[in-house]
Amino acid sequence: MTTQKVPLGDREVLRYRKRPRIVHAILASSFLILLLTGLVILWPALSFLAPGGATRWLHRVAAVGFMSVPIVYLIVDREGAKELMVDSFKYDRDDWRWIKRFWSYAFGHTANMPKQGRLNAGQKMHHALVMLLSASIVASGLALWFFMPSLGPTGQAWAAVIHDLSMLALTLLLVGHLYFTFVYKALSGMTRGYVDIDEARLEHAKWVEELEQEAAEEAAEEDKQAV
């Protein structure tokens, strides 16, 4: 999402516009369906749900939804998608310092953390890992879906193991994602789009300062025009 002309209220700040929120909803819902339908053939206690192939069908439908996320994102919010892509792989000095103090942040302390931009270093790493692991889970999933006869026994086993380990890593990232959402009360950013201004100031100081500067410049421009 772009940070231009973002409404900056007294108590809240717009964190995610509607379009990225929709993209996130597609990603989250397809991921959860994939996780649950995948568990059916991973956890023996759930294997009674597998006969009939309904869960496989659902898994494949959700896989199409999951794979469509980058395309949908580029269509509905090209600038935002590009920004997320670039930001997630760009780390400045403050980011590295933030990573060194990660545990303090993980346990609820924002004081003494280096100032962060719209994405903190943890979010950048999270997004980068999600992108890389998604690539590996999609590649191994497509191999198992379309190319199984040519994989051979060893290739099939490798594809299955890569698929499972990628999902394990993504699920652990999801656990971390939910953890920080809860600790820093960030859920509203993805439901209504707005987050608490104080939380944003503490956790994304550089971003809020940018927004304040933009708001001040806009106000000054309006004043000039009024005069």
At its nearest, how many Å lie between other proteins and the CB of residue 164? 5
Q: Is 51 in the site for other proteins (CB under 8 A)?
A: yes
At residue 151, what is the residue type? L
What is the residue type of 133? L
Q: Is 17 helix (H, G, I), strand (E, B) or coil?
A: coil
Task: Count CB-CB contacts under 10 A for residue 123.
Answer: 19
Cα–Cα distances in Å, from 93 out to 57, 83, 100, 180? 47, 19, 11, 22
Binder of other proteins out of 161, 216, 219, 220 (CB under 8 A)? 161
Q: Of 15, 2, 5, nearest to 197 (Cα)?
A: 15
Residue 13 sits in the site that holds other proteins (CB under 8 A): no
Give the integer Cα–Cα distance in Å for 125 and 88: 6
Q: Any contact of residue 12 with other proteins (CB under 8 A)?
A: yes
Tell me the number of residues near other proteins by CB under 8 A: 52
Binding other proteins by CB under 8 A: which of 4, 64, 93, 107? 107
The residue range among 5-13, 77-85, 133-141, 213-221 that interacts with other proteins, by the rule CB under 8 A, is 5-13
Tokens at 66, concatenated:
């999951």
Q: Is 28 in the site for other proteins (CB under 8 A)?
A: no
Considering only the stretches 23-31, 86-94, 105-113, 115-123, report the one whose residues sit in contact with other proteins under the rule CB under 8 A.
105-113
Contacts of 8 (CB under 8 A, 6+ apart): 14, 197, 208, 211, 212, 215
- Using CB under 8 A, list all residues that contact other proteins: 10-12, 41-44, 47-48, 50-53, 55-56, 106-111, 148-149, 151-154, 156-158, 160-161, 164-165, 167-168, 171-172, 175-176, 178-179, 182-185, 196-199, 201-202
